Amino acid sequence: MEPIVLNDLKAIALDPNLPWEPFRPGVEIHRLYPAEPEGAAAALLRYQPGATVPYHLHTGFEHILVLSGSQSDENGTYSAGTLVVNPPDTRHTVHSPEGCIVLAIWAKPVHIEP
């Protein structure tokens, strides 16, 4: 596999021709590389205004870079340019009242909880 180089990530995320797939209701995903079983994954996530991701557990580190809009969880609201690092064994819900696009990098899978 060749290195992945993303020049001007914000412009890439806003490209109207970027292929997005359904991820959760109101949230779409553009995978940057295939997820490894029980391993790392990286993707752009696009939240429609008011979209949420339910309560979930991080089994490894999660890095979220907000590229546009804002994203909120129980710990605060994060605007464009903010990097959030959620450590292993943390849980939260995520919502975006105004909509947003984020870069998400997961060291290990995330588990949605009931």
**Number of residues assigned to the chain:** 114
Sequence-distant (6+) residues with CB within 8 A of 5 are: none
Give the global pTM: 0.93
Tokens found for residue 14: 């806003």
Confidence of residue 8 (pLDDT cuts 50, 70, 90): very high
Higher pLDDT, 87 or 39: 87
Per DSSP, helices labelled H in 1-114 are: 9-14
For domain 25-112, the CATH class is mainly beta
Share of the chain above pLDDT 70, in %: 100
What would you measure as the largest C-alpha separation in the chain, in angstroms?
A: 38
Sequence-distant (6+) residues with CB within 8 A of 16 are: none
C-alpha 71: how far from chain center: 10
Cβ–Cβ under 8 Å, residues 97 and 49:
yes
- pLDDT tens-digit profile of 44-77? 999 999 999 999 999 999 999 999 999 999 999 9
Tokens found for residue 86: 């959620």
Q: Where are the domains of the chain?
A: 25-112
